[in-house]
Amino acid sequence: MMNRRMSSRSVSLTSTFLLLAAGGTAACDNNRYHNEGFYCADANGVIVNENYCDDNRYYGGTPYYIWHSTGYRSGYTVGSRLPPGGSKFAYNDQASRSSFGLPATGRIGNGTIKTSVVGKGGTGSKSTSHGSSSHKSGG
């Protein structure tokens, strides 16, 4: 029987590869889940009363959006403008609501923070609204 011994170079390369692979996996996992803040606002990112984003009511006229970002925290007040870098989708876009773990219908409280949002691109991402792409806030 032949007994093969791995050279120290092979062991070193194998160990290095495993460490890099483990580090890469950890880095991906850290980016996969994040917190996302949500607000009801107009097209310019000015916060409005959260009732305007309740799709069980109709307010007509001005379109309202649910703005979101990993950079949004709770506590912004009605009438203030959201910080730049957020994205929006139509308040009545059930698919987008559900994809963020929000209720598909009804009111979403301003300053709602969802934890462990999966795979959504937080700041600067675009969400679709009824088949068309929404625009990133220019702030």
Quickly state the pLDDT bin for 110 (edges 50, 70, 90).
very high
pLDDT number for residue 42: 94
Q: Which two tokens stand for residue 40?
A: 């009801």
Q: How far apart are the first and last CA of the chain?
A: 72
Q: Quick: pLDDT tens for 34-45.
A: 889 999 999 999
Band (83; pLDDT cuts 50, 70, 90):
very high
- Report the C-alpha gap between 25 and 88 in whole angstroms: 30
